[in-house]
Amino acid sequence: MKWSSFIAANGLFAPIHAGLLRFGCSRLTVQRLDPLVNPGQIPSTHLHQIIGGDSFNASMDAKSHDIPKLSTCTTCQFTEDLSNYWTAVLYFKAKNGTFKRVPQRAQQGMEGTQGGMVVYYMTDALFETQQKSKVTAFKPGFRMLVGEVAYRDREQARDFRQLTYICMQNEGTREPETLHFPTKPCPAGIMANHRFPTCWDGVNLDSPNHRDHVAYPQTGTFESGGKCPSTHPVRLPQILLETVWDTKAFNNKADWPADGSQPFVWSSGDATGYSTHADYVFGWKDDSLQKAMDANNYVSAPTLKTQTIAQQNKCQVPDMVKEDFDSWLTKLPGDIMVH
C-alpha cells in the first residue's frame, strides 16, 4: 500500500520522524492570470486555479514583489505560507460540443475547504515514515514551473517524472497512476498529482523557461534517494500538489463521446492529459519553511501557525479578468481550441 493511501486509511496520527508537511489550501481565485509565463498580461492565455497568499497578481516581479510583505492572508492552513501554487482547470466537453468546468473537491479530513489543493513538502519519499534527509528550503524570489503545456504524447511526457492522474474509485485510491487522463469514469473523481523537481543550481531563483534552474536527480528518483547532478547540486524539499477534480456530475457513460474516448480537457485545450503542468512562486515568511523541514515534524509542525478552514476560505483576490468560466460554454476561456 502506498503511503498516501495509508494516510487516507488511517487518518492523521502521532508524529514519527522529521520533515514532512501535508496541508490543505482552499481556492484563492480562478482566473486567466499567469504571473510566471504571461507576466503583466490580463488576461493570460488559459484559465488557472490558484491557491495561497493574496499578493497574487498578474505581475509578481521576483525582485520588487515581496510576497510575505504584500500578502494580508493565505488560503493555506499554515499562515506563514504566502506562496502561490497553480494549475490549469479541468473541463468536461459535452457531446454537443459545449464545456463545463469540473469542480474541485476537498480531501478527507479537510471537508469544508472550498476547492483548492493539498500541498506536501517532503525531505524523503512520501511512504518513508522516517523523513531524515537534509534539504535546503527555497529562497525569496524563487519560482519554477513543471510540465509543458504543448505536450500531447507519452514520449514527451516522460521528460517530467511523476506528473500523474489517479482514477479514484473511493477516497483512499492512490494507484495506479497514469500519465494520461483516465479512460473510464472515476466514481470518486480524478486526482491530478504534480511533483516538482528537487535539485537546484544554487544560484538562479528563476530561468527563462522557469525550469532550467532546477533538475531531477541524476540517477534514480527523489523517492529512491537519487543524487542531484553536479550542475544542480542543492537538494530541495519535494513539493507535491494533489488536486481532486470532482467528476461525479459527468460520470454517466451515455454523456461520453460515442467513439469511446474520454470527455475531459484541460483549460489549455489538451484532451490527452500529457500537457499537465503546475507553477510555484515561493513566499514563506522568514525561515519558517526551513525550520519546519529541519525539525522532527510529521504532517504538521508545532513551530508553524495554523488557521481554520473557514478562515482559509475567506482569503481571496479581486476578479481582474471578469469573464464567465462557469456556465456551459461554447468555447474554452480565451477561445482555446481543443488541439
Ligand X SMILES: *[C@@H]1O[C@H](CO)[C@@H](O)[C@H](O)[C@H]1NC(C)=O
Q: Catalog residues that contact ligand X under the rule CB under 6 A.
A: 55, 57, 94, 96, 98, 317-318, 328
**Residue closer to ligand X (CB basis): 67 or 88:** 67
DSSP assignment of 165-199: EEE-SSTT----EESS--SS--TT-EEEEEE---E
Q: Which is nearer to ligand X, 81 or 124 (CB)?
A: 81
Nearer to ligand X, 155 or 259 (CB): 259
Cβ 97 to ligand X shortest distance, Å: 8
Residue 109: exposure state from Cβ atoms within 10 A (0-12, 13-18, ≥19):
middle
Closest alpha carbon to 18 in 132, 185, 170, 101: 132
- Smallest distance, ligand X to C-beta of residue 25, A: 17
The three cell numbers locating residue 73: 492572508
- In the complex, minimum distance from the CB of residue 317 to ligand X, in angstroms, rounded to a whole number: 5
Provide the minimum distance between the beta carbon of 96 and ligand X in the complex, in angstroms, as a whole number: 4
Helix (H, G, I), strand (E, B), or coil: what is residue 334? helix
> C-beta of 318: minimal distance to ligand X in Å?
6
Between 55 and 198, name the residue whose CB sits nearer to ligand X.
Answer: 55
Residue number, 5 or 98, with CB nearest to ligand X: 98
Q: Give 222's contacts (C-beta < 8 A, 6+ positions apart).
A: 122, 125, 195, 198, 216, 238
Could you give the CA distance from residue 309 to residue 26 in angstroms, rounded to a whole number? 8
